[in-house]
Structure 1
Amino acid sequence: MVVLGLTGSIGMGKSTVARMFAEHGVPVFDADAVVHQLQGPDGALLADIEAAFPGTTSGRGVDRGALAERVLGRPDALHRLEALVHPAVALEREAFLERHRDVPLLVLDIPLLFEKGGWNLVDKVAVVSAPAEVQRDRVLGRPGMTAEKFERILSLQMPDSEKRARADFVIPTGGTFEETRDSVRRIIACLSPAHDS
Protein backbone atom coordinates (compact mmCIF):
# COMPACT_ATOMS: atom_id res chain seq x y z
CA MET A 1 0.00 0.00 0.00
CA VAL A 2 1.08 3.55 -0.78
CA VAL A 3 -0.14 6.19 1.68
CA LEU A 4 -0.40 9.59 -0.02
CA GLY A 5 -0.60 12.66 2.19
CA LEU A 6 -2.78 15.36 0.68
CA THR A 7 -2.32 18.87 1.99
CA GLY A 8 -2.56 22.51 1.03
CA SER A 9 -3.16 25.89 2.61
CA ILE A 10 -6.60 27.36 3.22
CA GLY A 11 -8.58 28.09 0.05
CA MET A 12 -6.36 26.04 -2.26
CA GLY A 13 -9.07 23.54 -3.24
CA LYS A 14 -7.92 20.55 -1.19
CA SER A 15 -11.46 19.31 -0.45
CA THR A 16 -12.30 19.34 -4.16
CA VAL A 17 -9.13 17.38 -4.96
CA ALA A 18 -9.87 14.87 -2.18
CA ARG A 19 -13.30 14.26 -3.76
CA MET A 20 -11.60 13.64 -7.10
CA PHE A 21 -9.43 10.91 -5.56
CA ALA A 22 -12.53 9.37 -3.95
CA GLU A 23 -14.40 9.46 -7.29
CA HIS A 24 -11.59 7.30 -8.70
CA GLY A 25 -12.11 4.74 -5.95
CA VAL A 26 -9.19 5.79 -3.75
CA PRO A 27 -10.12 5.67 -0.04
CA VAL A 28 -9.70 9.12 1.52
CA PHE A 29 -9.31 9.86 5.22
CA ASP A 30 -10.57 13.41 5.73
CA ALA A 31 -9.08 14.74 8.96
CA ASP A 32 -11.30 17.86 8.90
CA ALA A 33 -14.45 15.76 8.49
CA VAL A 34 -13.38 13.60 11.43
CA VAL A 35 -12.84 16.73 13.56
CA HIS A 36 -16.33 17.97 12.58
CA GLN A 37 -17.78 14.62 13.62
CA LEU A 38 -15.90 14.61 16.94
CA GLN A 39 -17.08 18.18 17.61
CA GLY A 40 -20.60 17.78 16.23
CA PRO A 41 -23.82 16.97 18.09
CA ASP A 42 -23.08 14.10 20.51
CA GLY A 43 -19.42 14.29 19.43
CA ALA A 44 -16.87 12.47 21.56
CA LEU A 45 -14.93 15.69 22.28
CA LEU A 46 -17.81 17.99 23.26
CA ALA A 47 -17.51 17.61 27.03
CA ASP A 48 -13.72 18.02 27.03
CA ILE A 49 -13.86 21.09 24.79
CA GLU A 50 -16.58 22.68 26.91
CA ALA A 51 -14.52 22.04 30.05
CA ALA A 52 -11.43 23.64 28.49
CA PHE A 53 -13.27 26.46 26.67
CA PRO A 54 -16.54 27.16 28.53
CA GLY A 55 -19.39 28.50 26.42
CA THR A 56 -18.08 27.21 23.06
CA THR A 57 -20.46 24.24 22.75
CA SER A 58 -24.20 23.56 22.74
CA GLY A 59 -26.57 20.76 21.77
CA ARG A 60 -25.60 21.47 18.17
CA GLY A 61 -21.96 20.74 18.90
CA VAL A 62 -18.97 23.06 18.99
CA ASP A 63 -19.54 26.65 17.88
CA ARG A 64 -16.52 26.68 15.57
CA GLY A 65 -16.53 30.46 15.21
CA ALA A 66 -16.54 31.01 18.97
CA LEU A 67 -13.84 28.39 19.47
CA ALA A 68 -11.68 29.90 16.73
CA GLU A 69 -11.92 33.30 18.40
CA ARG A 70 -10.67 31.73 21.64
CA VAL A 71 -7.63 30.01 20.11
CA LEU A 72 -6.48 31.97 17.03
CA GLY A 73 -3.45 34.07 17.96
CA ARG A 74 -3.22 32.39 21.39
CA PRO A 75 -0.59 29.64 21.20
CA ASP A 76 -1.30 28.28 24.71
CA ALA A 77 -5.05 27.95 24.00
CA LEU A 78 -4.41 26.41 20.58
CA HIS A 79 -2.03 23.89 22.17
CA ARG A 80 -4.73 22.94 24.74
CA LEU A 81 -7.24 22.38 21.95
CA GLU A 82 -4.81 20.36 19.85
CA ALA A 83 -3.99 18.17 22.87
CA LEU A 84 -7.66 17.17 22.89
CA VAL A 85 -8.23 16.86 19.15
CA HIS A 86 -5.08 15.26 17.77
CA PRO A 87 -5.14 12.00 19.80
CA ALA A 88 -8.81 11.46 18.94
CA VAL A 89 -8.14 12.03 15.22
CA ALA A 90 -5.14 9.67 15.40
CA LEU A 91 -7.36 6.87 16.73
CA GLU A 92 -9.81 7.40 13.86
CA ARG A 93 -6.95 7.44 11.34
CA GLU A 94 -5.53 4.15 12.65
CA ALA A 95 -8.96 2.53 12.35
CA PHE A 96 -9.24 3.83 8.76
CA LEU A 97 -5.82 2.42 7.85
CA GLU A 98 -6.76 -0.93 9.33
CA ARG A 99 -10.06 -1.05 7.40
CA HIS A 100 -8.25 -0.34 4.11
CA ARG A 101 -5.01 -2.25 4.65
CA ASP A 102 -5.44 -4.27 1.43
CA VAL A 103 -5.80 -1.38 -1.03
CA PRO A 104 -2.89 -0.31 -3.29
CA LEU A 105 -3.32 3.42 -2.61
CA LEU A 106 -5.08 5.57 -0.06
CA VAL A 107 -5.10 9.26 0.78
CA LEU A 108 -4.73 10.94 4.16
CA ASP A 109 -6.20 14.42 3.73
CA ILE A 110 -4.37 16.39 6.45
CA PRO A 111 -4.52 20.21 6.27
CA LEU A 112 -1.49 20.85 8.53
CA LEU A 113 0.56 17.88 7.33
CA PHE A 114 3.88 19.73 7.35
CA GLU A 115 3.13 22.03 10.25
CA LYS A 116 2.23 19.22 12.68
CA GLY A 117 4.66 16.50 11.55
CA GLY A 118 2.13 14.45 9.59
CA TRP A 119 4.61 13.78 6.78
CA ASN A 120 5.99 11.00 9.00
CA LEU A 121 2.69 9.12 8.50
CA VAL A 122 2.83 9.00 4.69
CA ASP A 123 4.93 7.61 1.84
CA LYS A 124 4.40 10.49 -0.59
CA VAL A 125 3.00 14.02 -0.35
CA ALA A 126 0.75 15.87 -2.79
CA VAL A 127 0.27 19.61 -2.27
CA VAL A 128 -2.79 21.38 -3.67
CA SER A 129 -1.82 24.85 -4.84
CA ALA A 130 -3.32 27.88 -6.57
CA PRO A 131 -2.00 31.40 -7.23
CA ALA A 132 -2.13 33.64 -4.14
CA GLU A 133 -4.77 35.96 -5.63
CA VAL A 134 -7.05 32.99 -6.41
CA GLN A 135 -6.57 31.68 -2.87
CA ARG A 136 -7.37 35.08 -1.36
CA ASP A 137 -10.53 35.53 -3.47
CA ARG A 138 -11.78 32.06 -2.52
CA VAL A 139 -11.18 32.52 1.20
CA LEU A 140 -12.58 36.05 1.45
CA GLY A 141 -15.69 34.80 -0.35
CA ARG A 142 -16.49 32.51 2.57
CA PRO A 143 -19.21 33.57 5.02
CA GLY A 144 -17.84 35.32 8.10
CA MET A 145 -14.29 35.53 6.75
CA THR A 146 -12.36 38.78 7.08
CA ALA A 147 -8.97 39.83 5.74
CA GLU A 148 -7.64 39.94 9.31
CA LYS A 149 -8.86 36.42 10.10
CA PHE A 150 -7.42 35.15 6.80
CA GLU A 151 -4.01 36.64 7.66
CA ARG A 152 -4.09 35.04 11.13
CA ILE A 153 -4.84 31.64 9.61
CA LEU A 154 -2.07 32.07 7.03
CA SER A 155 0.39 32.94 9.81
CA LEU A 156 -0.17 29.46 11.30
CA GLN A 157 0.46 27.70 7.98
CA MET A 158 3.70 26.99 6.17
CA PRO A 159 3.99 29.21 3.06
CA ASP A 160 2.64 27.62 -0.11
CA SER A 161 6.01 27.94 -1.85
CA GLU A 162 7.67 25.90 0.89
CA LYS A 163 4.96 23.24 0.78
CA ARG A 164 5.39 22.92 -2.99
CA ALA A 165 9.16 22.61 -2.59
CA ARG A 166 8.73 19.75 -0.11
CA ALA A 167 6.02 17.90 -2.09
CA ASP A 168 6.43 14.82 -4.26
CA PHE A 169 3.49 16.05 -6.37
CA VAL A 170 1.90 19.47 -6.86
CA ILE A 171 -1.75 19.57 -7.91
CA PRO A 172 -2.61 22.95 -9.47
CA THR A 173 -6.15 24.24 -8.85
CA GLY A 174 -5.92 27.67 -10.42
CA GLY A 175 -7.10 26.47 -13.83
CA THR A 176 -10.00 24.28 -14.94
CA PHE A 177 -11.48 21.34 -13.04
CA GLU A 178 -10.42 19.08 -15.91
CA GLU A 179 -6.78 20.16 -15.58
CA THR A 180 -6.93 19.38 -11.88
CA ARG A 181 -8.59 16.01 -12.58
CA ASP A 182 -5.81 15.19 -15.05
CA SER A 183 -3.22 15.80 -12.31
CA VAL A 184 -5.12 13.51 -9.95
CA ARG A 185 -5.35 10.77 -12.61
CA ARG A 186 -1.61 11.00 -13.30
CA ILE A 187 -0.78 10.65 -9.60
CA ILE A 188 -3.06 7.62 -9.25
CA ALA A 189 -1.47 6.02 -12.32
CA CYS A 190 2.02 6.74 -10.98
CA LEU A 191 1.40 5.36 -7.50
CA SER A 192 -0.88 2.44 -8.33
CA PRO A 193 -0.27 1.47 -12.00
CA ALA A 194 -2.80 -1.36 -11.85
CA HIS A 195 -5.56 0.99 -10.61
CA ASP A 196 -8.52 1.22 -12.98
CA SER A 197 -9.33 4.92 -13.15
Structure 2
Amino acid sequence: MIVVGLTGSIGMGKSTTAAMFAGAGAAVYDADAAVHDLYRSEGAPVIEAAFPGTVVAGVVDRKALGARVIGKPDEMKRLETIVHPLVHARETAFLETAKAAGARIAVLDIPLLFETGGEARVHASVVVTASAEVQRSRVLARPGMSEDTFAAILAKQMPDAQKRRRAHFLVDTGHGKAHARRTVAAILRALAALG
Protein backbone atom coordinates (compact mmCIF):
# COMPACT_ATOMS: atom_id res chain seq x y z
CA MET A 1 0.00 0.00 0.00
CA ILE A 2 1.33 3.42 -0.95
CA VAL A 3 0.93 6.00 1.82
CA VAL A 4 0.60 9.61 0.74
CA GLY A 5 0.85 12.67 2.96
CA LEU A 6 -1.55 15.44 1.93
CA THR A 7 -0.88 18.87 3.36
CA GLY A 8 -1.27 22.57 2.70
CA SER A 9 -1.50 25.81 4.59
CA ILE A 10 -4.78 27.19 5.89
CA GLY A 11 -7.23 28.20 3.17
CA MET A 12 -5.46 26.35 0.35
CA GLY A 13 -8.27 23.83 -0.28
CA LYS A 14 -6.80 20.77 1.42
CA SER A 15 -10.12 19.39 2.69
CA THR A 16 -11.72 19.73 -0.74
CA THR A 17 -8.70 18.02 -2.31
CA ALA A 18 -8.83 15.21 0.26
CA ALA A 19 -12.46 14.65 -0.71
CA MET A 20 -11.36 14.40 -4.36
CA PHE A 21 -8.84 11.68 -3.45
CA ALA A 22 -11.57 9.83 -1.54
CA GLY A 23 -13.99 10.23 -4.44
CA ALA A 24 -11.37 8.71 -6.75
CA GLY A 25 -11.13 5.62 -4.55
CA ALA A 26 -8.22 6.33 -2.19
CA ALA A 27 -8.58 5.59 1.52
CA VAL A 28 -8.37 8.97 3.29
CA TYR A 29 -7.54 9.75 6.93
CA ASP A 30 -8.46 13.25 8.13
CA ALA A 31 -6.30 14.39 11.05
CA ASP A 32 -8.52 17.43 11.67
CA ALA A 33 -11.61 15.22 11.93
CA ALA A 34 -9.69 12.96 14.32
CA VAL A 35 -8.91 15.99 16.52
CA HIS A 36 -12.57 17.07 16.47
CA ASP A 37 -13.60 13.58 17.53
CA LEU A 38 -10.92 13.42 20.24
CA TYR A 39 -12.24 16.72 21.60
CA ARG A 40 -15.61 14.95 22.12
CA SER A 41 -14.16 11.73 23.51
CA GLU A 42 -10.98 10.52 25.19
CA GLY A 43 -9.07 13.76 24.66
CA ALA A 44 -11.55 15.95 26.52
CA PRO A 45 -10.76 14.91 30.12
CA VAL A 46 -7.00 15.09 29.50
CA ILE A 47 -7.32 18.57 27.99
CA GLU A 48 -9.58 19.71 30.85
CA ALA A 49 -6.95 18.52 33.35
CA ALA A 50 -4.24 20.50 31.55
CA PHE A 51 -6.40 23.54 30.71
CA PRO A 52 -9.16 23.79 33.34
CA GLY A 53 -12.39 25.40 32.15
CA THR A 54 -11.94 24.51 28.46
CA VAL A 55 -14.37 21.57 28.44
CA VAL A 56 -18.14 22.09 28.59
CA ALA A 57 -20.50 19.11 28.99
CA GLY A 58 -17.70 16.70 28.09
CA VAL A 59 -16.70 18.51 24.89
CA VAL A 60 -13.68 20.77 24.40
CA ASP A 61 -14.78 24.37 23.79
CA ARG A 62 -12.46 25.19 20.88
CA LYS A 63 -12.87 28.92 21.35
CA ALA A 64 -11.95 28.76 25.04
CA LEU A 65 -9.03 26.45 24.30
CA GLY A 66 -7.86 28.69 21.47
CA ALA A 67 -7.85 31.68 23.80
CA ARG A 68 -5.56 29.72 26.13
CA VAL A 69 -3.04 28.54 23.51
CA ILE A 70 -3.03 30.70 20.35
CA GLY A 71 -0.04 33.03 20.39
CA LYS A 72 1.40 31.25 23.45
CA PRO A 73 4.10 28.84 22.24
CA ASP A 74 4.59 27.04 25.58
CA GLU A 75 0.87 26.42 26.02
CA MET A 76 0.51 25.32 22.39
CA LYS A 77 3.37 22.87 22.89
CA ARG A 78 1.66 21.49 26.00
CA LEU A 79 -1.56 20.96 24.03
CA GLU A 80 0.35 19.29 21.18
CA THR A 81 2.00 16.81 23.58
CA ILE A 82 -1.52 15.73 24.57
CA VAL A 83 -3.19 15.69 21.15
CA HIS A 84 -0.46 14.46 18.78
CA PRO A 85 0.00 10.97 20.33
CA LEU A 86 -3.78 10.43 20.35
CA VAL A 87 -4.07 11.50 16.70
CA HIS A 88 -1.09 9.35 15.73
CA ALA A 89 -2.68 6.28 17.36
CA ARG A 90 -5.82 6.82 15.27
CA GLU A 91 -3.71 7.25 12.13
CA THR A 92 -1.95 3.95 12.81
CA ALA A 93 -5.29 2.18 13.29
CA PHE A 94 -6.58 3.74 10.04
CA LEU A 95 -3.56 2.47 8.08
CA GLU A 96 -3.94 -1.03 9.49
CA THR A 97 -7.63 -1.07 8.55
CA ALA A 98 -6.96 0.31 5.04
CA LYS A 99 -4.24 -2.25 4.41
CA ALA A 100 -6.43 -5.11 5.67
CA ALA A 101 -9.21 -3.89 3.34
CA GLY A 102 -6.84 -4.08 0.37
CA ALA A 103 -6.45 -0.35 -0.26
CA ARG A 104 -3.74 0.37 -2.83
CA ILE A 105 -3.36 4.03 -1.86
CA ALA A 106 -3.95 5.60 1.56
CA VAL A 107 -3.92 9.36 1.94
CA LEU A 108 -3.09 10.96 5.29
CA ASP A 109 -4.59 14.46 5.37
CA ILE A 110 -2.23 16.13 7.85
CA PRO A 111 -2.21 19.95 8.15
CA LEU A 112 1.29 20.14 9.70
CA LEU A 113 2.88 17.24 7.80
CA PHE A 114 6.30 18.85 7.32
CA GLU A 115 6.24 20.86 10.55
CA THR A 116 5.85 17.70 12.64
CA GLY A 117 8.22 15.45 10.66
CA GLY A 118 5.29 13.48 9.26
CA GLU A 119 6.86 13.13 5.82
CA ALA A 120 9.05 10.38 7.31
CA ARG A 121 5.89 8.24 7.63
CA VAL A 122 4.79 8.52 3.99
CA HIS A 123 6.02 7.39 0.57
CA ALA A 124 5.07 10.63 -1.20
CA SER A 125 3.80 14.08 -0.28
CA VAL A 126 1.14 16.20 -1.97
CA VAL A 127 0.95 19.91 -1.22
CA VAL A 128 -2.27 21.79 -1.89
CA THR A 129 -1.55 25.38 -2.85
CA ALA A 130 -3.07 28.58 -4.24
CA SER A 131 -1.98 32.19 -4.56
CA ALA A 132 -1.59 34.27 -1.40
CA GLU A 133 -4.53 36.41 -2.55
CA VAL A 134 -6.83 33.41 -2.96
CA GLN A 135 -5.70 32.00 0.40
CA ARG A 136 -6.29 35.28 2.20
CA SER A 137 -9.78 35.83 0.77
CA ARG A 138 -10.81 32.24 1.62
CA VAL A 139 -9.52 32.42 5.19
CA LEU A 140 -10.87 35.86 6.06
CA ALA A 141 -14.30 34.82 4.74
CA ARG A 142 -14.51 32.17 7.49
CA PRO A 143 -16.83 32.99 10.40
CA GLY A 144 -14.98 34.40 13.39
CA MET A 145 -11.65 34.69 11.56
CA SER A 146 -9.63 37.82 12.25
CA GLU A 147 -6.42 39.20 10.78
CA ASP A 148 -4.66 38.43 14.08
CA THR A 149 -5.84 34.82 14.19
CA PHE A 150 -4.89 34.33 10.53
CA ALA A 151 -1.42 35.79 11.22
CA ALA A 152 -0.97 33.54 14.27
CA ILE A 153 -1.93 30.43 12.27
CA LEU A 154 0.38 31.37 9.39
CA ALA A 155 3.25 31.96 11.82
CA LYS A 156 2.90 28.37 13.03
CA GLN A 157 2.87 26.91 9.51
CA MET A 158 5.81 26.43 7.20
CA PRO A 159 5.65 29.00 4.36
CA ASP A 160 3.79 27.76 1.28
CA ALA A 161 6.84 28.23 -0.97
CA GLN A 162 8.89 25.97 1.29
CA LYS A 163 6.16 23.32 1.33
CA ARG A 164 5.95 23.40 -2.47
CA ARG A 165 9.71 22.82 -2.72
CA ARG A 166 9.48 19.75 -0.46
CA ALA A 167 6.45 18.21 -2.20
CA HIS A 168 6.50 15.30 -4.61
CA PHE A 169 3.24 16.54 -6.15
CA LEU A 170 1.33 19.86 -6.18
CA VAL A 171 -2.41 20.52 -6.49
CA ASP A 172 -3.11 24.18 -7.30
CA THR A 173 -6.69 24.86 -6.23
CA GLY A 174 -6.61 28.44 -7.46
CA HIS A 175 -7.70 27.34 -10.94
CA GLY A 176 -11.01 25.78 -9.92
CA LYS A 177 -12.26 22.37 -8.86
CA ALA A 178 -12.19 20.77 -12.32
CA HIS A 179 -8.48 21.57 -12.67
CA ALA A 180 -7.76 20.25 -9.17
CA ARG A 181 -9.74 17.06 -9.86
CA ARG A 182 -7.71 16.42 -13.04
CA THR A 183 -4.50 16.96 -11.08
CA VAL A 184 -5.62 14.49 -8.39
CA ALA A 185 -6.43 11.90 -11.07
CA ALA A 186 -2.97 12.38 -12.63
CA ILE A 187 -1.29 11.97 -9.22
CA LEU A 188 -3.23 8.77 -8.54
CA ARG A 189 -2.18 7.39 -11.96
CA ALA A 190 1.47 8.22 -11.21
CA LEU A 191 1.26 6.59 -7.77
CA ALA A 192 -0.47 3.48 -9.16
CA ALA A 193 2.38 3.10 -11.64
CA LEU A 194 4.82 2.98 -8.69
CA GLY A 195 2.82 0.29 -6.92
Q: Deviations over 1:128-176 (max 9, x none)?
A: 0000010000000001100111001100000000000000001000011
Aligned to 2:12: 12
Q: How many residues align?
A: 193
Q: Deviations over 1:7-51 (max 9, x none)?
A: 0000000000000000111000100000000002xx111111011
Aligned to 1:3: 3
C-alpha separation in 1, matches of 2:63 and 2:118: 25
C-alpha separation in 1, matches of 2:132 and 2:152: 15
Q: Deviations over 1:92-119 (max 9, x none)?
A: 1111111111321110000000111111
Secondary structure of 1:77's aligned partner: helix
Aligned to 1:68: 66
Aligned to 2:185: 185
C-alpha separation in 1, matches of 2:146 and 2:139: 9
The structure with the greater share of residues assigned to helix is 2
Mark the runs of 5 or more structure 2 residues left unpaired by the alignment: none
> Scaled by the length of structure 1, what TM-score is found?
0.95
C-alpha separation in 1, matches of 2:186 and 2:34: 28
- For the 8 Å contact 2:7–2:113, the answer to whether it is kept is yes
The answer to whether the aligner puts 1:119 opposite 2:119 as a matched pair is: yes
Aligned to 2:151: 151
One-letter amino acid matched to 1:151: A
- For the 8 Å contact 2:27–2:107, the answer to whether it is kept is yes
Aligned to 1:21: 21
Secondary structure of 2:16's aligned partner: helix
Aligned to 1:98: 96
Secondary structure of 2:11's aligned partner: coil
Runs of at least 4 residues of structure 1 off by over 3 A? none
Aligned to 1:137: 137
Aligned to 2:50: 52
Mark the runs of 5 or more structure 1 residues left unpaired by the alignment: none
The partner residue of 1:84 within 82, 85, 89 is 82
C-alpha separation in 2, matches of 1:107 and 1:191: 11
1:54, CA displacement in angstroms?
A: 1.0
1:193, CA displacement in angstroms?
A: 4.0
1:60, CA displacement in angstroms?
A: 5.8
C-alpha separation in 2, matches of 1:100 and 1:116: 23
> Scaled by the length of structure 2, what TM-score is found?
0.96
C-alpha separation in 2, matches of 1:103 and 1:60: 35
- For the 8 Å contact 2:44–2:58, the answer to whether it is kept is no
Quote the sequence identity (%). Answer: 52
Residues 158-173 of structure 1 correspond to what in structure 2 (within 5 A)?
A: 158-173=158-173
